[in-house]
Amino acid sequence: MQQTLLEVLIQNSGYEENNKIIEDLSFSINQGEIVGLIGPNGAGKSTTIKTILGLLENTNGKIDFINNHTYAYIPERPIFYDELTLWEHLDLAAGVMEIDDAHFNERAMKLVNLFHMEKVIHKLPSTFSKGMQQKVMLITAFLIKPDIYIIDEPFVGLDPMAMQDFLTLIELEKQRGAGILMSTHVLDTAEKVCDRFLLVAGGKLKAQGNLQDIQVKANLHEGSLLHCFNQIVQGVSLHE
């Protein structure tokens, strides 16, 4: 039986007290599974992630990282310290997570080489392209090996090779027992790699489950995730 790592029960949440963006969202993230958070623009996906991370004060509900499981957040827009190099960012993350030097150097160089970033390890990520910056965020997250990954649009800016490397690592982390919540618009890829889906539209959870569950909800029993997505969100008003 899969162990539950994260329980989410959001009654409502938003950026202003009288303007709730999402409401009535309830789901869990379990050990060894990839869960795709999908929905149209303005549906409330980013608000959901920010609520889970505890970044919104105007929230009613409960977010429970059971047994204090660790997590890593990979944002859509990379965030860096302007004065730190790529290697110094990795060293800082390793220090925070108390990774010993031997494991740090081995893990870090393996990831740096995998993403073909060895020539820029002593350069500032603030000078990198969007795709290279995204790679730095991925390398940092995979370095610390958390119990839970919370990933917002990971494919933005990645070239096909880097995308494949990312998917390979995610699958390995799933086998290790990590739980992964991944928000994405790339539905054809999500259909192939995710075990379950959370479809948010109009600030509410409109469907959840595996592909077969989503197909039943959409009344498209052989439909792709994209076709089911379009069927379910039709006529649903969106929040900005």
The contacts of residue 73 (CB under 8 Å, 6+ apart) are: 49, 53, 141, 150, 151, 152
Has residue 23 got a pLDDT over 60?
A: yes
Can you give the pLDDT at residue 239? 39
> Beta strand 58-65 with 4-16: parallel, antiparallel or unpaired?
antiparallel
- State the SS3 of 131-178: HHHHHHHHHHHHHHCCCEEEEECCCCCCCHHHHHHHHHHHHHHHHHCC
Average pLDDT, the chain: 93
Can you give the pLDDT at residue 18? 84
Has residue 211 got a pLDDT over 80?
A: yes
- φ and ψ at 9, to 5 degrees? -135, 95
Q: How far apart are the first and last CA of the chain?
A: 39
Q: How far apart are CA 136 and CA 138, in angstroms?
A: 5
For tokens 């869990």, what's the residue? Answer: 28
Has residue 235 got a pLDDT over 60?
A: no
Q: Compute the average pLDDT of residues 40-66.
A: 94
pLDDT band (50, 70, 90) for residue 157? confident
pLDDT one-digit tens code per residue, 93-109? 999 989 998 889 999 99
Question: Are residues 180 and 151 in contact, defined by beta-carbon separation less than 8 angstroms?
Answer: yes
Residue 161 burial by CB count (10 A; 0-12/13-18/19+): exposed, middle or buried? exposed
Q: How far apart are CA 110 and CA 11, in angstroms?
A: 42
Has residue 238 got a pLDDT over 70?
A: no
Question: Are residues 121 and 110 in contact, defined by beta-carbon separation less than 8 angstroms?
Answer: no
